[in-house]
Structure 1
Amino acid sequence: MLTLTDLRGRDVDVAHALPRADQDISATVDTVTPILEQVRTGGAEALLELSERFDGVRPASLRVPAEVLAQALAGLDPAVREALEALIMRARDVHTAQFPPGSMVSPGPDAQVTNRWVPIQRVGLYVPGGQAVYPSSVVMNVVPAQVAGVPQLAIASPPQKDFGGWPHPTILAAAHLLEVDEVYAVGGAQAVGMFAYGALEAGGGVAVPPVSLITGPGNIYVATAKRAVQGVVGIDAEAGPTEIMVLADHTAPADLIAADLVSQAEHDELASAVLVTDSPELADRVIAQVQEQAAATRHLDRVKQSLGGRQSAALVVESLDAAVEVANAYGAEHLEIMTGDDDAVAERIHNAGAVFIGPYTPVSLGDYCAGSNHVLPTGGASRYSSGLNVTSFLRSQQVIRYGQQGLAQVAAHVEALAAAEDLPAHGDAVRARFP
């Protein structure tokens, strides 16, 4: 199931030798482009038709009625409600601490530049509804947006035949718990198109106003659609299949490593589960444990495909230093560290969406109740991007205020630079203020 790859003594390009899932979204462009165009030109009716085509059900309306949201929360399992409330509380604490402070600088007398953070005014949040139900993704998207002060939040999630054409009731309950009442029964690429272009009713009224930013994970069709509309709206990222890498030495517990690899493999067949270690004995124990634990898991077929795919492996390297090099080259979405000195190793990690330290910090904790955000960069994007956070929903805006004295102090400099760039009217605009 999980194969062993020994990199010791091999002169290899680490970045290219690492296992990774193939997800070429260009292969789905021809499918997604006409869907987006149909939504752009056909509005609400096109969305309903596409739901019938792809989800096998035509919702009674695009927007989920308020009473359906209320009923979903009323019918929620009390244990699930308690868990969601705990997640919301912890997520609010963590994300509130992320809010960046503003600043005011006076570069000279009678001169002031203010740096302030302004919330994006309308955001569309996508919540998938395929092989699993993700109320936790509702929380992970909504909470940082609310902390940022976004005034208009809209959620889209696929309609379900089993639930009368509405999204899964647990998704609806989570939205209602967070006091988000604008929820649409729309999934896939068509949901991205709806958020990007808005949707008109047949009579010309606005069924769904467009948004300025789209966030949230999804399948390859959602990722392709997000790339296609980027520029019309902002997007958080093109999320790929989930990834876990465990960086471990001989001191690490093989059974816990195996449990964490299997837990991420149950997401989908393309999920990546990678161990990197300087201990061949640990690698052998983990492979044996994975075999044993996977056989007992509910989603065995999915787990077997994930762990047996080219994207998953147990990598043995020369040393812990080499393991750190591999981890930084890979840039995992989730990186667990289980070594004799976890803190020292963690200090050397530059590229990872989130870092989980020690045997009692599994990735599944971060998926649900750590308080951290589980919407994280995949496919090595952690080298240049961050997970979803409060600043994802904010724009940095500069406010400049100069008085006559302040402008006079730099007027000659502006004129000199304007002349150097052959833009004389720029200098004239300053000179006009000092007749």
Structure 2
Amino acid sequence: MRIRPSLSLILSLTVLSLVVLGLTSAAFAQSSSAPAGRTLIRAGHLLDVHTGKLLDSQTIIVTGDRITAISSTASTPASTGDTVIDLGSLTVLPGLIDVHTHITGNPDFDPYRELTGTDAKDAINGVVNARTTLMAGFTTIRNVGASGYVDVDLRDAINAGQVPGPHMQVSGPPLGITGGHCDENLLPIRYHLTGDGVADGIAAVQQKVRQNIKYGVDVIKICATGGVLSKGDSLQASQYTLEEMKAIAADAHRLGLKVAAHAHGAQGILWASEAGIDSIEHGSFIDAAGIAEMKKDGTYLVPTLYLEDWMMESGHLPVFYQQKMKDAIAVAKPNIRRAYEAGVKIALGTDAAVYPHGLNAHEVEVYVRDLGMTPLAAIQSATLNGADLMGWTDRAGSLDAGKWADIIAVDGNPLADVKLLQDVKFVMKAGVVYKGTGAK
């Protein structure tokens, strides 16, 4: 998704503060802190995403924001002071992870609406969409692109308990070339409007990486090729050169951050992997050379495929985006299936904002139906693999002692029907219940 350039960082900060103050009631402040003492979650069934085993009658012991133990319910009696949450026959599994969202955006691509957007509106969108995403069972996301560092402010507000939302890693403004997918190309020269992250040449991209880190990002996002939702560029044309991408990856890695590359075209995919980029986002035109390189380098592929289904059913794009969307849809699923079958690592991403937030779990169904994944592999792409890509295997992605108490529950066996993940009945994030039994 193309990100609108910053119009007012100061206004963004002010409005986000007002939104935060408006939502922070005494009741919410109490509910956003994990309860003191132990919480015992009684589950009819528990899915071990490491092995695919479905364990019956399990109790997850939560202390503060962490899981401290998991054992059979029969051997885990409640003690005085414990809080017991009985989920009956529901199946619990770890909170899901979406590594490609645009939490501050919505699926409205009318050019006038794009050009009259503000960081303030994005901040408000982010507060609403973060809650929607959490309630859908996605307790962790990576936000890859937002103007004015609005996603940095949103992450911090969530972490402070001021507004509800997932754990977040954020990129701030994505880096891109002049006139490329991450620039602003809708206005003529007289307006001299340039995207926040535009940088050309090795020195400039190094400065932009460092600037984003200065303002608090967790991951660097770049545009390696053209995109669908941008005017005047080609999906298949590489935008950053191999040398520029190497410079980006080297600086980001040296400073402790990973890099995600928006890339549809085959050349850009190949170069990004060769440059040491950690993940390829979209990957529509990936070819044999790119597949081989990604497998060799251990580069993650982050498909964003459900949006294609949604776009064909409900999307309304301006004419100058329509053909590019059709071109991507024509090749993406078979190409990505070949990459998966060849052994390229897959982490679930959705491009939420290109379709409505909260439908993220439909991506799991697409992976099973169109990529040939088993239900367990598809669920692992949204749990273990997402946590691995984010560098958060010590805190998310599975139900293990020591990790965040990020727990969801569904009515039935998701290994038999992954569509159950589209109707989550219970959501706990970091020991706090936001949906279902025990929610405040």
Q: What TM-score, normalized to structure 2? A: 0.28
Rg comparison, structure with higher value? 1
Q: Larger helix proportion, structure 1 or 2?
A: 1
